Amino acid sequence: MTSTKASRTAAALTATLGLAGASWVVAVQQMSGMDMGAATELGSFAFFIAVWVPMMAAMMLPGAVPAVSRFIRADGRALAAPLFAGSYLAVWTLVGLAVYALYQPHGSSAAGALTIAAGVYELTPLKHDCRRRCGKSVRSGFQFGVYCVGSSIGLMVMLVALGVMSVTWMSVVAALVLAQKLLPPRASIDVPVALAIAGLGILIVVAPSSVPGVVLPM
């Protein structure tokens, strides 16, 4: 790699992380006062998208840095990084449209059941295959996004179930997504994490008040 190309790559990766950091600030400000646990309302479509897009940039871009780097090296164009990141976030924006269409404020039983399902999904072959593909070179940010949705959709279902406007749960899920993007699959870690998620779901069903923030007092 030439020094010019190396400098361009470093600048693109720094910009990607900078955008992620700025998106955290925007998302946290937008979500302030909106968290009602499982009973959270999404608000208007425009408001939800204005929250969802920076939320996805904050949560998903840090883990995409290795893929952005690989794509820049393979593509070589000056606009490779923003095109990759933009198409990657476009996929997550489509997920947001589905969330807005399907979401309803819900109770602890539904939150627990969805969290159990998220834990079970972590152990499926589809999850494993999508996570593996996330670590390989791809043709576009859109393709990377599709694989990463397949890898992280269970975790995102957990976020939506427990509090889609919760900064706490957003941070937890973002940490898990980042770890799974950067670390290779390892059953000694992945299985306990999946069982912990399912166990959390069971606890929410059986004793919802024991999990802070899921069901807020009236």
CA-closest candidate to residue 128, choices 180, 61, 193: 180
On whether residue 122 sits in a domain, the answer given is yes
Residue with tokens 């968290």: 35
Examine the pLDDT at 76 and tell me if it is beyond 80.
Answer: no
Examine the pLDDT at 25 and tell me if it is beyond 80.
Answer: yes
Percent of the chain surpassing pLDDT 70:
95
Confidence of residue 74 (pLDDT cuts 50, 70, 90): confident
pLDDT of residue 158: 98
**Chain centre distance of CA 53:** 11
Mean pLDDT of 138-142: 90
- What is the spatial distance between Cα 207 and Cα 109, in angstroms, rounded to a whole number? 10
On whether residue 218 sits in a domain, the answer given is no
Examine the pLDDT at 217 and tell me if it is beyond 90.
Answer: no
Confidence of residue 212 (pLDDT cuts 50, 70, 90): confident
Contact 32, 55 (CB under 8 A): no
pLDDT of residue 2: 62
Examine the pLDDT at 215 and tell me if it is beyond 70.
Answer: yes
Which token pair is 124? Answer: 């499926």
Tally of structural domains, the chain: 1
In one-letter notation, the amino acid at residue 66 is P
On whether residue 12 sits in a domain, the answer given is yes
First to last CA, the chain: 60
On whether residue 216 sits in a domain, the answer given is no
52: Cα within 13 Å, side-chain hemisphere: 24
Residue with tokens 């593509």: 75
On whether residue 149 sits in a domain, the answer given is yes
The pair phi, psi for residue 12, each rounded to 5°, is: -65, -40
pLDDT of residue 216: 67
Rg (CA), the chain: 18
On whether residue 128 sits in a domain, the answer given is yes
On whether residue 56 sits in a domain, the answer given is yes
pLDDT of residue 12: 85
Domain residue limits at 189:
3-210
On whether residue 116 sits in a domain, the answer given is yes
Examine the pLDDT at 130 and tell me if it is beyond 80.
Answer: yes
Examine the pLDDT at 218 and tell me if it is beyond 90.
Answer: no
3-state secondary structure of 174: helix
Mean pLDDT of 64-84: 85
